[in-house]
């Protein structure tokens, strides 16, 4: 009976996943899940809520403790805004901005922020390698599960250092080191193109639904590391 119950739960999860992704998007969904992404903002947000909300809440709680009231914070690769919306409810005195290259993701994040009323986070559509902020704009820059998506990590971190104030800090949470692996030249394209990118490569054999769910569960079990960088004060 226990085995039947487990099988029933697994079947229910599979049906929900199929409904979210949709038959027409299934091949794109698997291609992006291999890159720890999803084919659109709605499915990405639902998957993040199902599998990773606890991680995002823990990150927001950590930021609330470490960033002083009145500090200016930027979340790079904010996706649908889960971290910043949580942060706005527990540390409203921190001035927060989210940035993502995907306009649809930012649209979803803005709708979440609107439900908070005035004083919530603001969101900007832009690439990390060319951010529309003046030099020394932020006290802290954070990023969660996004750096491994950056096509050029060297350019991205150069921009992060540019917009940080002297003595400011960048904090990265990810399942892979933020610095380029030996021989990859800083190109993270093998890991995908960003949150919610629907245009990932779709080559290779078509997997089963169960195979894709296994990939999501694998990502959930991957250990998360924190990396801190401080901009020199001088």
What CA–CA distance (Å, rounded) separates 7 from 141? Answer: 43
* Strand ranges (E), the chain: 72-76, 95-100, 122-125, 138-144, 164-174, 225-230
Mean pLDDT, the chain, rounded, equals: 74
User: CB atoms < 10 A from the CB of 23, how many?
Assistant: 8
Facing residues of 173 across strands? 144, 226
Q: Are 138 and 76 in contact (CB under 8 A)?
A: no
Domain ranges of the chain: 2-230
Rg (CA), the chain: 18
What is the pLDDT at residue 50? 66
What is the CATH T-level fold of the domain 2-230, as seen in this structure?
A: Rossmann fold (3.40.50)
DSSP state of 164: E
pLDDT by residue (tens digit) across 153-186? 999 999 999 999 999 999 999 877 776 544 444 4
Q: What is the pTM (predicted TM-score) of this model?
A: 0.70
11-33 average pLDDT score: 43
Give me the pLDDT at residue 119, please: 78
Q: Does 211 or 97 have the greater pLDDT score?
A: 97
Tell me what pLDDT residue 170 has: 96
Segment 95-136, tens digit of pLDDT: 999 999 989 999 999 999 998 877 789 999 999 999 999 999
Q: What percent of the chain is helix, strand and coil (3-state, nearest 5)?
A: 45, 20, 35
> How far is residue 73's CA from residue 106's CA, in Å, rounded to a whole number?
17
- Segment 50-60 mean pLDDT: 83
pLDDT band at 146 (very low <50, low <70, confident <90, very high): confident
């Amino acid at each position: 009976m226990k085995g039947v119950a487990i099988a029933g739960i697994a079947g229910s999860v599979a049906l929900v996943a199929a409904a979210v992704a949709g038959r027409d998007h299934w091949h794109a969904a698997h291609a992006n899940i291999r890159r720890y992404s999803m084919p659109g903002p709605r499915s990405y947000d639902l998957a993040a809520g199902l599998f990773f909300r606890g991680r995002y809440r823990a990150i927001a709680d950590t930021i609330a403790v470490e960033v002083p009231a009145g500090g200016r914070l930027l979340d790079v690769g904010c996706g649908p805004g889960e971290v910043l919306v949580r942060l706005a409810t527990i540390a409203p005195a921190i001035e927060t901005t989210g940035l993502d290259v995907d306009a649809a993701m930012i649209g979803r994040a803005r709708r979440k922020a609107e439900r908070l009323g005035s004083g919530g986070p603001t969101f900007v559509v832009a690439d990390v390698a060319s951010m529309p902020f003046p030099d020394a704009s932020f006290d802290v820059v954070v990023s969660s599960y996004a750096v491994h998506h950056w096509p050029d990590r060297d350019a991205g971190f150069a921009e992060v250092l540019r917009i940080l104030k002297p003595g400011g800090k960048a904090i990265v949470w990810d399942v892979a080191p933020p610095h380029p692996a030996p021989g990859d030249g800083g190109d993270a394209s093998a890991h995908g193109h960003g949150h919610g990118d629907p245009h990932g490569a779709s080559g290779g054999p078509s997997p089963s639904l169960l195979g894709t769910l296994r990939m999501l569960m694998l990502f959930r079990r991957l250990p998360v590391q924190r990396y801190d960088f401080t901009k020199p004060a001088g």
